[in-house]
Structure 1
Amino acid sequence: MANGNTQFSFQHPQSYYYLWHLAALGVIDATFGPLTPGGGVDYSSPTINGTVWDTISEAFPAATAPATVALIDVGVSRSHPNLKSRLDAVKSIDLVSHPYGAKYVAAPAASPYDPEVKAAFFAGISTAGLGTLNLTGPETAYLGSLIAELAASEGVLHTLIEGDETFGSHGTAVAGLVVGEPAASVAPNPAITLPDVLISDDGTAVPNPNRNMLPYFGVDPLSRLISIRTGFEQQPDQFIAAFLYAFANGADVILLPRGIPDPVRSVLNAKPELSQDLDDRANWERADLFARLEEATPPASEIRPHAVGKTGNREIAWNTLAKLIVAISRKVPVVCAAGNDGESQLIYPANLAAANNGIIAVGAVTPHGYRSGYSNYGAKLTLVAPSDDFEIYTRHQLRVDRTNPMVDQHYYHPGKGKVIPHSHFSLLTTDLPGTFGYAGGSDPYSSILPPLDNQGIGGGYYTTFGGTSGAAALVAGVAALTARAHKAKHGAAAKLDGLTSKANLIAACDQNASVKPGTTPLTQDPMNADNEPAKGKTYFFGAGLLDAGKAVAAILAP
């Protein structure tokens, strides 16, 4: 379609390898090609030359100790075929439905089951081993009181009826990227194109009642995951309990693929680039408008109606949480999503990342070599990992999905802004089965062949995913790989502390790398100001794109 002197046409996206992100991270050594008849590269069928998993097993064939990732999120499906053997169901805990924790068990086949069996989950909890927390006197008293309460508390055992199977879509997607593993093997029958057998817990082959299953791989399918379910309420106690629980239960990596609703630390500030732009003569009118709006702005308590009042106790609780996260990060790497606001600042607690702690703030990039359109960036960003993209149409840049058939219905002109290519690549990952998942899938054969352990719900086992949540999950998977390599080399009890793990990951990054299957080196883009790329690659990509192969090789080196 022609608009003025610009010619646009609908472009159909080329199919691509569904584990492309593992190649981009260096988990899989993949060669993409050859050229298609149209002159492009075939992204759908790469040649696999090797994997980091093989590297670890070849170096230490007898090592079997997995790493443990503690996922602080909204829960994980316990019945997903690609996750059920990777999820530590005994240690996984729900801090939403009960303040002292709830765990889920299968109901006995015979007698009725009491849905409120009490159990202690925080016995022996403490800050021992964390070193100095730099707490004030009131903060020390507060944390001591909370720990004493948790240590003496009793949570409950619930019969698993709904639980995370209703609300855990985000956590299930994140978990798959970290530890998803194949649950099926394909029988040598050319007439059958779908997996027809499953490998059960005891290693025997059983008929596969699920027609929707893929041989899916997370970054480290040989590690394990503890799901720590938290909510979105402004409850610092819940998050303090979550981090203490992760530390007490031996996590090698803590993953927080979302923000924490601290009423002060989670508030994003006005864009400094916007303030700079408003000083220009061409933007005086905008500056005047903003000044008038600021004068008319109601008090903060009115524009943030859900903010917690600034009482002394609340501030003590939130301050304690922030200091606890930093202290734990020095012992266990804490991987955090940078946020999806397109801002030159990070969400909380990613914005706590600093050289003297183990908090790893993760941004997202696309195979075109650019920051994902939504990905936050800035001085505190640690590194980046592959993810999906987002359309942008501002005076600074034009990034439009040309594969969308509706694009021809509109006229897009970059003006003085830069044209940035939009990526149609997404992360494929595990989905919460049934209508509560992202895909909301339903297997048309489910009335005849119900999915494994989910009769009547239907299919929808996989979904496209992305965001800095997805990028952070991939980095947590690499951190697990390095922790597992360290255990293979030094023994099952050996641990990489947070500072060492973070330093190792940073050393394995490259600011000039290309994101496979793309070939363009990482490139800055003008997101919030025309001259923003001049701030340099560190501002946009931190240390750069992480390479799992380099990170593991450094651990395994003599």
Structure 2
Amino acid sequence: MPPQSENTKPPAGYYYLWHLAALRVIDADFGPLTRPLPSNNESALRNAANPVITGSVWDTIAELGAVSPAKVALIDVGISPDHPNLTTRIDHNASIDLATHRYGARALEILNDTNSSYKEEKQAFFSGLDISGLGNLGLSDDDKEYLDDIVAEYAASNGVQRRLLDSNTMFASHGTACAGLIVGEPAALPSGDSENPSPPEYLLTNPDSTEAHPNKNPNLLPYFGADPFSRLVNITTSFEEDARQFIAAFLYAHLQNVDVIVMPRGIPDPKRSAVEPKNELKADLERWANRDAADLFARIAVAEQGPSELEPKAPQTGSNPDRLWKILKQLIIGVSRKIPVICAAGNSGESQLIYPASLAAPDNGIVAVGAVTVEGFRSCYSNYGEGLTLVAPSDDSEVFNRHQLRVDRLSPFAAKHQYSADGGKEYCYSYFSLLSTDLPGVFGYDEGKAPWSSLLPSANNPGVGGGYYTSFGGTSGAAALVGGVAALMQRTHRAVHGGTGKLNGVAVKNILQEASNLNSNVEPGLRPLTPDCMNADNEDVIDPSYFFGAGLLNAATAVNAVLTS
């Protein structure tokens, strides 16, 4: 293992909201450049731990006067309903659970009294649903009629309001982390004045102030998402291959007239979520295809001899298993033209995007977001390639393949191996991650293991052994940050034009792209966005847009573009 130089060491610490500085949501001075730009395997950072905060995009918008919050729909596995940094940001009266009930469910309250009787009330969540405003969705007459029947069914449906434990208190770690990056706000009030709380940005610029305190629970941070002044509509979905569930999610987001939709995960479409094989693997797949064909002919021969046992999951005569998925695809595209749909590009390190980020095109409002590290490289897991819209900051992980090496050389396991970049290239590993809100308790990501999670059960802590924060990342985290910036843009549009109007999805996407730059460095890093090879030799000589789309998003530029539009 090569000797550890001063340049390859990670910082002693870093500012917990560095990602907001990298996106220019906040203005942070990390100090001057103190050394020449290092090589690809050496760290390139300024004073990462102690920036001077001089302003924010929030200040720019606040100067425009009172602005109504934007509504962001998060389609994910749920959000902790009582997280102190999130509970005032979640629109509890609009949120819906589509994972446990086809027509929607909502928990009225969490019952602590075991003697309380169970009660479930009907609720028409989709009342008034009408998709005529979406225009032509590009469906055949038969599929359009089918979708119209689905819309009519949901419009007349009844979901339930339950007086039961909210399932989001157990299964919502991913959604809770994404929610914090979008709209998290400090759970803070000024001393002795609950009627006139200090604005959130006050705590950002005055974290040690004696005039405001981060709630009575000392384990809480003055935490900020990209837009802590907007509201979140939680649309809970599962991981099942259920097209109707996701059709309902997008129909509900449209019904709620949200300003932004964030989709920080893939949709399990059996056909469209399949990853195309690499060229070197296609020969093997041909052999498998031939084997499958031979098996099919054998089963046909058996069927001709007489009836056989029915295969439960096999498509039945006259069925079209792709019909609902095709309708969902066209619905997502149609909704995106009205409401921007911010999608994660995927975390498999492939040169293709996951679904539905793969639907991103110039004529729709689907924004495919990749991830980059503070070192200026693509996060090693981040998908890239055709259709990628832009990138945002996130974390990193190690890589060991014939195209590149990216190693955490501070790991105790590093000494056990003779890692070498001979014959390949070594790229600098990033030690930065996104700090975000966590599901309290043992079902959260950290389960109380991290230093900021070391709390004991108390009246102020609904978790048991777990804490409120976690290290997070992935293209999910990057997409969540971009969703927050899109909310900032919608709030700015309202401030300029008044009322409750909003930018359509295509307009938001165009501004986001124009506000991104391929020559930017990721603050507090010094290296500009730099391509790397992952799946092919010499891949790093391809145009940078293949890896970064339009480049790193600048929130201040995006908001200023809306101001001057």
User: How many Å separate the matches in 1 of 2:118 and 2:418?
Assistant: 62
The AA in structure 2 aligned to 1:446 is: L
Equivalent in 462, 470, 488 of residue 469 of structure 2: 462
Amino acid of the residue matched to residue 451 of structure 1? N
1:342–1:374 contact (8 Å) kept in structure 2: yes
CA-CA distance at 1:116 after TM superposition:
1.4
Closer, same or farther: CA 417–83 of 1 in aligned 2, 3 Å:
same
| CA apart distance, 1:459 | 4.2
1:411 to partner: Cα distance = 1.1
> In the aligned structure 2, how far is the partner of 1:462 from the partner of 1:395?
36
Is 1:18 the counterpart of 2:22? The answer is no
Change (3 A) 1:327 1:293: closer
Q: Which residue of 2 aligns with 1:131?
A: 135
Is 1:118 the equivalent of 2:116?
no
Paired with 1:222 and 1:308, the residues of 2 have a C-alpha distance of 49
Percent identical: 53
Aligned residues of 1:13 and 1:403 also touching (Cα < 8 A): no
Q: Spell out the pairing of 1:226-265 with structure 2 (5 A cutoff).
A: 226-265=233-272
**1:517-539 deviation digits (Å, cap 9, x = unpaired):** 10111111111111212320111
The verdict on how the C-alpha distance between 1:503 and 1:409 changes in structure 2, with shifts beyond 3 A counting, is same
Q: CA deviation at 1:140?
A: 1.1
Task: For 1:333-412, list aligned pairs within 5 A.
Answer: 333-412=340-419
Distance 1:362 1:309 in 2: 35
Q: Aligned pair in 2 of structure 1 residues 33, 99: CA closer, same or farther (>3 Å)?
A: same
Is the counterpart of residue 492 in structure 1 residue 499 in structure 2? Answer: yes
**SS of residue in 2 equivalent to 1:45:** coil
Residue 182 (1) aligns with residue 186 (2): yes
Aligned to 2:29: 31
Partner in structure 2 of residue 53 of structure 1 = 58
Cα pair 1:486 1:556 within 8 Å, conserved:
yes
Name the aligned partner's letter for residue 157 of structure 1: Q
Structure 1: gaps spanning 5 or more residues: 188-196, 279-285
Matches within 5 A, 1:137-216: 137-185=141-189, 203=197, 208-216=215-223
Deviation at 1:403, TM superposition (A): 2.3
Tell me the C-alpha RMSD between the 2 structures.
Answer: 2.9
Cα contact 2:219–2:455 (8 A) shared by 1: no
> Which whole-Å CA distance do the structure 1 matches of 2:333 and 2:250 have between them?
11
Q: Which position in structure 2 is the counterpart of 1:191?
A: none
Deviations 1:33-65 (A, max 9, x none): 36899997321110111100001111x12x230
In structure 2, the gaps of 5 or more residues are 36-42, 199-211, 297-310
Residues 263 and 308 of structure 1 are in contact (CA less than 8 Å); yes or no, is this contact kept in structure 2? no
- From 451, 455, 462, the equivalent of 2:460 is 451
Q: Which residues in structure 2 correspond to 1:420-431 (within 5 Å)?
A: 420-431=427-438
- Residue 489 of structure 1 deviates from its aligned partner by 1.1
Counterpart-to-counterpart distance in 2, 1:140 and 1:293: 37
How far is 1:404 from its partner?
1.4
Q: Is the 8 A contact 1:399 1:419 kept in 2?
A: yes
> 1: distance between equivalents of 2:132 and 2:398?
47
Q: What SS is found at the alignment partner of 1:418? A: coil
User: What is the rounded CA distance, in whole Å, between the counterparts of 2:9 and 2:270 in structure 1?
Assistant: 44
Name the CA distance, whole Å, in 2 between partners of 1:166 and 1:516.
Answer: 35
Q: Determine the C-alpha separation between the residues in 2 that align with 1:148 and 1:201.
A: 45
Find the counterpart in structure 2 of residue 190 from structure 1.
Answer: none
Are 1:105 and 2:108 an aligned pair? yes
Sort the Cα spacing of 1:268 and 1:108 in 2 relative to 1 into closer, same or farther, 3 A: closer
Secondary structure, in 3 states, of the residue corresponding to 2:265?
A: coil
How many residues are treated as equivalent by the alignment?
524
Following superposition, the deviation at residue 138 of structure 1 comes to: 2.1
Residue aligning to 2:48 = 43
Q: Aligned partner of 1:440: which letter? A: E
Distance 2:415 2:467 in 1: 31
Q: Give the partner amino acid of 1:326.
A: I
Is the deviation greater in 26-35 or in 117-126? 26-35
The letter of the residue matching 1:554 is: A
User: Does the CA contact (< 8 Å) of 1:255 and 1:472 recur in 2?
Assistant: yes
Structure 1: 4+ residue segments shifted above 4 A: 8-13, 34-40, 107-114, 199-209, 286-301, 305-311, 442-445
Distance 1:247 1:43 in 2: 41
* 2:535 is equivalent to residue 528 of structure 1: yes
Alpha-carbon distance between aligned partners in 1 of 2:468 and 2:68, rounded to the nearest angstrom: 28
Secondary structure of 1:178's partner?
helix
Deviations 1:372-404 (A, max 9, x none): 000000011000000001211111101111221
Q: Paired residue for 2:89?
A: 86
**Structure-2 change in CA distance of 1:426 and 1:307 (3 Å):** farther
> Residues of 2 paired with 1:132 and 1:475: CA distance?
28
Counterpart code for 1:45: N
Contact kept, 8 Å, 1:251 with 1:332, in 2: the verdict is: yes
Does the 8 A contact of 1:451 with 1:458 survive in 2? no
Q: Residue 74 of structure 2 corresponds to which residue in structure 1?
A: 71
Distance in 1 between the 2:540 and 2:312 partners?
A: 36
Which shows bigger deviation, 484-493 or 48-57? 484-493
Could you tell me which amino acid in structure 1 is paired with residue 19 of structure 2? H
Residue in 1 that maps onto 2:440: 433
> Structure 1 residues 254 and 531, CA, compared in 2 at 3 Å: closer, same or farther?
same
Q: 1:468 to 1:306 in 2, by over 3 A?
A: farther
CA distance in 1 between counterparts of 2:229 and 2:496 reads: 16
Per the normalisation by structure 2, the TM-score is 0.86
Q: Distance in 2 between matches of 1:246 and 1:287?
A: 40
Q: Structure 1 237/14 Cα, relative in aligned 2: closer, same or farther at 3 Å?
A: same
> How far apart in 1 are the matches of 2:511 and 2:543?
23
Partner Cα distance (2:335, 2:283) in 1:
46
**1:194 — aligned with what?**
none
Residues 236-281 of structure 1 deviation map (CA, whole Å, 9 limit, x = unaligned): 111011001001101100000000000000000112xxx2xx5xxx
Q: Which amino acid aligns with 2:545?
A: T
Q: What does residue 544 of structure 1 align with?
A: 551
- Could you tell me how far apart the structure 2 residues matched to 1:348 and 1:291 are? 24
The letter for the 1-side match of 2:157 is S
CA, structure 1 residues 291+260, in 2 after alignment: closer, same or farther (shift >3 Å)?
closer
Q: How far is the alpha carbon of 1:451 from its aligned partner?
A: 2.4
**Displacement after TM superposition at 1:234 (Å):** 0.8
Offset at residue 492 of structure 1 (A) = 3.1
Counterpart CA distance in 2 for 1:345 and 1:35 is: 36
Change (3 A) 1:445 1:382: closer
SS of aligned partner of 1:228: strand
> Does the CA contact (< 8 Å) of 1:185 and 1:215 recur in 2?
no
Tell me the equivalent position of 1:282: none
Deviation at residue 494 of structure 1 after TM alignment: 1.2
CA distance in 1, matches of 2:313, 2:320: 15
Which one-letter code corresponds to 1:125 in the other structure? L
1:489-531 per-residue CA deviation (whole Å, 9 max, x = no partner) reads 1113111100111111111000111001101111111111112
